[in-house]
Amino acid sequence: MEGAVARHRHNGEADALQDRQFSPDNSTDGYTSSQDDPEKVVFLNDPGNFIIVTLLKRCHRRYTIDKPLTAGSHYIGINATDFTPAFTRSVAASSLKNNTYDYIARTGSSMTLPCLVIPPVDMLRPNQVLFLKHLSREQGYGSKFRAVPENELAEYKKQQQDAFTAGHTCPLLVASAETMPDYAAISDTRENKWRHFRLMMPKMQGMSIPKGLMSEIDAFLAKYERDVVSPILALILAIIYHDCYHALDLGAEKGAKKPMKPVPLVSLAQLILYGPHYFRIHEELKLSAYVHIFRAVDYFYGNDKKLDAFVINDEDINTDVVFKYIDEMELDEEDWLEIVPPSWEGSEITMPLNHGTRAPPSPELTALLMMPDIYTLGFAGYTNEKWPNMGRGTRDTLMHGLFLPKHIQSNPNLWRPVADEEICLKALEPYQDQLDHQIWSAPKMSVRSPWSEAVTFDSYSDPDNGDTQVPYELEAEDRNVGSPSGPCIPLDKSIQDTKDYYKVFIKKIRQGQNAGLIDKSVTLDLDGHLTWPGLENQPAARRKLPGGIDLQKLIAEFDAADADRISKIDRRTLHRLLHIDLADGEHVAKCARELKTRINIDDEDLGKAQVRKAFEDCLLPTRNETMRIWNEAASA
């Protein structure tokens, strides 16, 4: 059950890049930096190892542009529910008394109030909000702030409108570049009043990963040839997804003054493919906090999937299997760190003062979280193509071969060589479809090498820990159970009885192992006999199991069910809920009473998934009605 430690994608160190023409035969596996050397960088002056890949143009359909911005509009951040820029508009004199966003912001060119604004780091400079409030009113404000010349203001307004229309990062008119950004400058980002999504990252350094988990992730990534996601980042995203999925309200933001829509549930497949873009867009927009990752993925994919090329099959990765493996890793509270966009390796965003629990960037943090260089994720620049024909579906991107996964390297139909002259300064400029390709790390000319390996081990949950499969043909002598002269037992009943016997046997073995009475290495072989490492094959004749019985599957099913069983504390909490809070005579909603018929608190094998589904099914009408009310309120 517990196998020897192996290395996943072990390819050795990323030696000096050779000046040779790229080919899949002499390339590395695409993930070749060792965690022993997180400082190693790749200088992008190596045209022989560059290729052009055609990738799906995800996250380029963002917001509707139906009218220009008004004269009093000044960019202040991003709406936390739909990634649309927010601007000051209709600033009342009463709002000049405080340094908050309340009631001054509008989404895009509309008059819709955003629920929560994610400020760019420059908005965290002292008095920056007040400066833009005064400026938006187009009235004099004496010597309190710097005077903005008319020509500077006119040029700024033009750049802001152009950026808003194109979907680029809107410029920010700064009151004073001499002051440092400070999370304490705005109420929403103060440590004790933080309103934004808290993105927790797992500490990956030295973490042992079930081999089956990486196999599931690799198999999924290979199905999407027009997306580049490293296995290590996909693993991190899967762990983040597991954490948010099981969090209260899916890890929703806390303390927002205006009610927000419930966090939408996205699929694991969607989150993995959109994750790199999610991180890169925050870097591009120079944001100080994160939009909830589920909200962002739901919004971007909701716009993209109107084009068939972007449709993702949620069943391409088995979420239940991934969850089973992650549960087996038993991550604790101390295995996580909170990050913000400035925390990333290579980020050009200044980490504001008073960052509190949010980790500042450092080589140690990069190694601990196995974070990639932020400029190696997603695209270099995102535009806005949200109109009826939705723009082009793909985008040619110039990438170094070191960063390409093997399933793309090995298929020459997915890439083409690049000539030296194609790597020009124009390929490093902000993306506006100016070329048929662009360097994916633009505007950076050097980035850190990617991580190469994750330590993996043979897991209890791996579906096949043996070298052979149990045959499904039943031998004639196995049709009778007991003495040879006993009655003939039907085949189906014989198999079921044997399965039931071994389920009890497996349970006893696990109980002995948990109590320390049986060594953890003891398991069952394919024929149902006890075995352990180093035990030689017994020469005596051994009875074989009936065909159709897969003991490894039975073991995996038991361990999965055992990991899912509710704890004693949870069982006591449920008992109180069902028998006291929902007792007959208590005034509770009818849908809540249905929980009593869906959950058998006395069931020894009651699992968390079963309880969760019961709650979701019973409370779904209430959730749907709540979302309907929010939608009506938002559109009013």
Please compute the mean of the pLDDT values over residues 252-266 and round it to a whole number. 84
Q: How far is CA 393 from CA 227, 267, 447, 474, 556, in A?
A: 12, 22, 27, 53, 42
Q: For residue 103, is it left (φ>0), alpha (ψ between -120 and 50) or beta?
A: left
Q: For residue 139, is it left (φ>0), alpha (ψ between -120 and 50) or beta?
A: beta
552/438: higher pLDDT: 438
Q: Dump strand ranges (E) for 155-260.
A: 199-202, 208-210
pLDDT tens, residue by residue, 313-354: 999 999 999 999 999 998 999 999 999 999 998 899 999 999
Please give the biggest Cα pair distance in the chain.
Answer: 107
For residue 40, the model assigns a pLDDT of: 52
- Alpha helix (H) residue ranges in 515-548: none
With beta carbons less than 8 A apart as the criterion, state whether 350 and 181 touch. Answer: yes
272/545: higher pLDDT: 272
Residue 380 has pLDDT above 50, yes or no: yes
For residue 33, the model assigns a pLDDT of: 33
Ranges 93-97, 133-137, 365-369: which has the least confidence: 93-97
The model's confidence at residue 217, banded by pLDDT at 50, 70 and 90, is very high
Angle at 554 between CA 544 and CA 565, to 5 degrees: 155
CB count in 10 Å sphere of residue 82: 22
Taking the C-alpha atoms of residue 413 and residue 399, their distance in angstroms, rounded to an integer, is: 15
Q: Which two tokens stand for residue 289?
A: 């906090």
Helix (H, G, I), strand (E, B) or coil at 290: strand
The model's confidence at residue 544, banded by pLDDT at 50, 70 and 90, is low
The model's confidence at residue 541, banded by pLDDT at 50, 70 and 90, is very low
With beta carbons less than 8 A apart as the criterion, state whether 289 and 197 touch. Answer: yes
pLDDT tens, residue by residue, 605-619: 787 878 888 887 777
For residue 171, the model assigns a pLDDT of: 93
7/212: higher pLDDT: 212
101/275: higher pLDDT: 275
Listed in sequence order, the residues at least 6 apart from 342 whose beta carbon sits closer than 8 Å to its beta carbon are: 121, 288, 349, 350, 351, 352, 360, 361
With beta carbons less than 8 A apart as the criterion, state whether 290 and 199 touch. Answer: yes
The model's confidence at residue 572, banded by pLDDT at 50, 70 and 90, is confident
| Helix (H), strand (E) at residue 518 | none
Please compute the mean of the pLDDT values over residues 14-27 and round it to a whole number. 38
For residue 278, the model assigns a pLDDT of: 98
Q: How far is CA 566 from CA 19, 289, 578, 605, in A?
A: 57, 35, 15, 8
Taking the C-alpha atoms of residue 93 and residue 78, their distance in angstroms, rounded to an integer, is: 24
109/591: higher pLDDT: 109
Mean pLDDT of the chain: 78
**DSSP codes joined into one string, 18-61:** P-S---TTTS--S--B-TT-TT-EEES--GGGEEEEEEE-TT--
Please compute the mean of the pLDDT values over residues 275-287 and round it to a whole number. 97
Please compute the mean of the pLDDT values over residues 94-123 and round it to a whole number. 82
Residue 538 has pLDDT above 90, yes or no: no
556/323: higher pLDDT: 323
270/476: higher pLDDT: 270
Listed in sequence order, the residues at least 6 apart from 514 whose beta carbon sits closer than 8 Å to its beta carbon are: none
350/206: higher pLDDT: 350
Q: 227, 250, 226: which is closest to 240 by C-alpha?
A: 250
Residue 404 has pLDDT above 50, yes or no: yes
For residue 502, the model assigns a pLDDT of: 80
Please compute the mean of the pLDDT values over residues 41-47 and round it to a whole number. 57
For residue 6, the model assigns a pLDDT of: 33
For residue 273, the model assigns a pLDDT of: 98
With beta carbons less than 8 A apart as the criterion, state whether 530 and 522 touch. Answer: yes
10 residue type, one letter = H
With 0-12 / 13-18 / 19 or more C-beta atoms within 10 angstroms meaning exposed / middle / buried, residue 431 is buried
532/168: higher pLDDT: 168
pLDDT tens, residue by residue, 292-303: 999 999 999 998
Taking the C-alpha atoms of residue 111 and residue 343, their distance in angstroms, rounded to an integer, is: 34
Q: For residue 400, is it left (φ>0), alpha (ψ between -120 and 50) or beta?
A: beta
Q: How far is CA 598 from CA 601, 603, 615, in A?
A: 10, 12, 9
Among the ranges 14-18, 181-185, 580-584, 599-603, which has the highest mean pLDDT value? 181-185
The model's confidence at residue 180, banded by pLDDT at 50, 70 and 90, is very high
For residue 635, the model assigns a pLDDT of: 66
350/485: higher pLDDT: 350
Mode of pairing for the β-strands spanning 50-56 and 415-417: antiparallel
For residue 364, the model assigns a pLDDT of: 92
Number of residues in the chain? 636
pLDDT tens, residue by residue, 497-527: 777 788 788 888 887 887 788 887 788 777 7
As separate numbers, helices (DSSP H) first and strands (DSSP E) second, the chain gives 14, 16
Helix (H, G, I), strand (E, B) or coil at 443: coil
For residue 362, the model assigns a pLDDT of: 93
482/577: higher pLDDT: 577
Task: Please state the domain extents for the chain.
Answer: 74-188, 491-564, 568-635
- Alpha helix (H) residue ranges in 246-387: 268-284, 293-304, 319-329, 363-369
The model's confidence at residue 270, banded by pLDDT at 50, 70 and 90, is very high
Residue 5 has pLDDT above 70, yes or no: no
Residue 284 has pLDDT above 80, yes or no: yes
Taking the C-alpha atoms of residue 478 and residue 486, their distance in angstroms, rounded to an integer, is: 12
Please compute the mean of the pLDDT values over residues 425-444 and round it to a whole number. 77
CA 425 to chain centre: 33
The model's confidence at residue 139, banded by pLDDT at 50, 70 and 90, is low
Q: Which two tokens stand for residue 317?
A: 């990765």
Residue 457 has pLDDT above 70, yes or no: no
CB count in 10 Å sphere of residue 116: 25
Q: 513, 608, 540: which is closest to 570 by C-alpha?
A: 608
Helix (H, G, I), strand (E, B) or coil at 486: coil
Residue 225 has pLDDT above 60, yes or no: yes
349 residue type, one letter = I
Share of the chain above pLDDT 90, in %: 31
The model's confidence at residue 361, banded by pLDDT at 50, 70 and 90, is very high
Please compute the mean of the pLDDT values over residues 461-477 and round it to a whole number. 41
Residue 387 has pLDDT above 80, yes or no: no
Q: How far is CA 290 from CA 166, 215, 286, in A?
A: 22, 30, 11
With beta carbons less than 8 A apart as the criterion, state whether 118 and 76 touch. Answer: no
With beta carbons less than 8 A apart as the criterion, state whether 290 and 83 touch. Answer: no
Residue 276 has pLDDT above 60, yes or no: yes
